[in-house]
Amino acid sequence: MAVDFLPINDWDHIEFYVGNAKQAAFFYSHAFGFQCVGYAGLETGVLDHTSYLMQSGDIRFVLTSALRSNHPVSEFVRKHGDGVKDIALTVDDAEAAYRETTKRGARGILEPTIIEDPNGNGYIKKATIAAYGDVVHSFIERHNFHGLFMPRFKEPPFMTGTRPVNAGLYRIDHIVGNVELGQMNEWVRFYEEVMGFKLSDHFDDEHIKTEYAALMSKVMQSGNGFIKFPINEPAVGKRKSQIDEYLLYNEGPGVQHIALRTDDIISTVTQLQAQGVQFLPSVLRYYTDLEDALQRLINEGRETLGPLGHPIHGESYLGKIPDLGHLGQLGVLVDGDDEGYLLQIFAKIVEDRPTLFFEVIQREGSRGFGTGTFKALFEALEREKDARVQPDELQGSVAAMAM
Ligand code: FE2
């Protein structure tokens, strides 16, 4: 087996650039059940920005705002609105990660840098390369640091009032990027050649389309399978799709959604709804079709097959899937493959611009991305998009690329 030239331990954190980090922190804690566990700003010796570290299980979000207009964070927010800036990954050797990726063509943003803790808790080594749009990947080496998250972070000062209740979200499952028409394969090549990822799934416009709009998607995965990056591009269709709409309002490529894992999607979604998180509504037809498909498997004595009729190591999963009526009420979708099944739902967009949203996912064996759910999710997003007025740029069809 080839040597992994970029061994990645896991997700480190996701940094969002936002207009008002204090208010965003309140939203992620009270709506999504994250706990604010760290703060950096004027009170901790940082002069130009404020950051809040939000945590739920192993998921770490850093919400950062600039304190003045002449600042890269302000420029990002002016152009894109609030959104994901840095998908940071934990590595053992940030210097090697930077060297290996830039040698293979990555654009360097921050050379390997030691960030020393003024309070004697050691240091972090950080290096950053560019990804699609204005998104970057930082490599974080933290084995010489013993403090809270990063130098200059301290316990948050305000902890009065009701404490947010954890909603069971415990891990980032995958992070999806939207890129321009014709660019998906460029970014597939980037993750393959520059970062040593492998293609794990592929959805083309034959699978994922409505009567009018379509998308293409390829899923790139790190050597250990922990990091998954699906990359979407718009596909040829009679009408422009949600991907075109995203690219218009985000003013370029960027992160479309972050999927967060739970072990109990029913209780997580029920709680998030109670805390004000809105999800895409379900379609009755989807559940009646699914019920028919599952009943067919049972009638034909093929219940040792997965929800899509693939064998699952001779074990029946049908009885383990939660009650479809209950899933239908919440709008949770079901899919499966030869390893098990998965349950998924999309929350509505969390920004004013039609850009970033979150997905909640429960995996029971299945490590893939179900074609059936992907299609249903795409259709649900198209229905949402069709409820919004479309500017001139989004009228008309998506033509084939001359290539
Ligand atoms: Fe997803």
Contact 101, 129 (CB under 8 A): yes
pLDDT tens-digit series, residues 192-224: 999 999 998 887 766 677 766 777 889 999 999
pLDDT above 70: residue 247: yes
Tell me the CA–centroid distance for residue 299 and ligand 1, in Å. 32
Tell me the CA–centroid distance for residue 259 and ligand 1, in Å. 5
State which fold the 10-141 domain adopts: 2,3-Dihydroxybiphenyl 1,2-Dioxygenase; domain 1 (3.10.180)
Cα distance between residue 338 and residue 366, in whole Å = 7
Tell me the CA–centroid distance for residue 258 and ligand 1, in Å. 7
Tell me the CA–centroid distance for residue 69 and ligand 1, in Å. 34
pLDDT band at 402 (very low <50, low <70, confident <90, very high): very low
Q: What is the mean pLDDT of residues 234-250?
A: 88
Contact 109, 128 (CB under 8 A): yes
pLDDT band at 295 (very low <50, low <70, confident <90, very high): confident
pLDDT band at 288 (very low <50, low <70, confident <90, very high): confident
The amino acid that residue 224 corresponds to is: N
Tell me the CA–centroid distance for residue 74 and ligand 1, in Å. 28
Angle at 26 between CA 23 and CA 31, to 5 degrees: 125
Q: Would you call 23 helix, strand, or coil by DSSP? A: helix
Tell me the CA–centroid distance for residue 173 and ligand 1, in Å. 8
pLDDT band at 151 (very low <50, low <70, confident <90, very high): very high
The dihedral region occupied by 57, where left means phi > 0, alpha psi between -120 and 50, and beta the remainder, is left
Q: Do domains 10-141 and 171-394 have the same CATH topology?
A: yes
How much is the pLDDT for 158?
A: 64
Tell me the CA–centroid distance for residue 99 and ligand 1, in Å. 31
Tell me the CA–centroid distance for residue 23 and ligand 1, in Å. 26
Cα distance between residue 367 and residue 261, in whole Å = 12
Tell me the CA–centroid distance for residue 261 and ligand 1, in Å. 11
Tell me the CA–centroid distance for residue 59 and ligand 1, in Å. 16
Question: 70-79, 109-118, 145-154, 205-214: which range is least confident on average?
Answer: 205-214
DSSP string of 65-126, one letter each residue: EESSSSSHHHHHHHHH-SEEEEEEEE-S-HHHHHHHHHHTTPPEEEEEEEEE-TTSSBEEEE
pLDDT above 90: residue 174: yes
Tell me the CA–centroid distance for residue 239 and ligand 1, in Å. 23
Tell me the CA–centroid distance for residue 68 and ligand 1, in Å. 35
Q: What is the mean pLDDT of residues 169-182?
A: 96
Tell me the CA–centroid distance for residue 165 and ligand 1, in Å. 24
Tell me the CA–centroid distance for residue 230 and ligand 1, in Å. 8
Q: How far is CA 372 from CA 114, 173, 241, 335, 375, in A?
A: 46, 18, 19, 6, 5
DSSP string of 331-391, one letter each residue: T-EEEEETTEEEEEEEBPP-SSSS--EEEEEEEEB--S--HHHHHHHHHHHHHHHHTS---
pLDDT tens-digit series, residues 45-101: 999 999 999 999 999 999 999 999 999 999 999 999 999 999 999 999 999 999 999
Distance of CA 364 to the CA centre of its chain: 19
Tell me the CA–centroid distance for residue 260 and ligand 1, in Å. 9
Q: What is the mean pLDDT of residues 110-130?
A: 97
Cα distance between residue 150 and residue 367, in whole Å = 32
Tell me the CA–centroid distance for residue 72 and ligand 1, in Å. 29
Q: Where are the domains of the chain?
A: 10-141, 171-394
Question: 38-52, 322-336, 350-364: which range is least confident on average?
Answer: 322-336
CATH of domain 171-394: 3.10.180.10
Task: Select from 110, 18, 2, 69 the least CA-distant residue to 355.
Answer: 18
Q: Would you call 403 helix, strand, or coil by DSSP? A: coil
Q: What is the mean pLDDT of the chain?
A: 89
Q: What is the mean pLDDT of residues 297-314?
A: 59
Tell me the CA–centroid distance for residue 151 and ligand 1, in Å. 33
Tell me the CA–centroid distance for residue 229 and ligand 1, in Å. 9
pLDDT tens-digit series, residues 257-268: 999 999 999 999
Tell me the CA–centroid distance for residue 120 and ligand 1, in Å. 41
DSSP string of 252-275, one letter each residue: S-EEEEEEEE-S-HHHHHHHHHHT
CB neighbour list of residue 271: distance below 8 Å, 6 or more residues apart = 33, 165, 167, 168
Tell me the CA–centroid distance for residue 175 and ligand 1, in Å. 7
How much is the pLDDT for 317?
A: 66
pLDDT above 80: residue 182: yes
Q: What is the mean pLDDT of residues 144-170?
A: 88
How much is the pLDDT for 93?
A: 98
Tell me the CA–centroid distance for residue 369 and ligand 1, in Å. 8
Cα distance between residue 88 and residue 139, in whole Å = 6
How much is the pLDDT for 39?
A: 96
pLDDT above 80: residue 400: no
Question: 96-110, 135-149, 342-356, 379-393: which range is least confident on average?
Answer: 379-393
Contact 365, 340 (CB under 8 A): yes
Tell me the CA–centroid distance for residue 397 and ligand 1, in Å. 25
Higher-confidence position of 282 and 130: 130
Q: How far is CA 153 from CA 35, 83, 159, 273, in A?
A: 15, 21, 16, 31
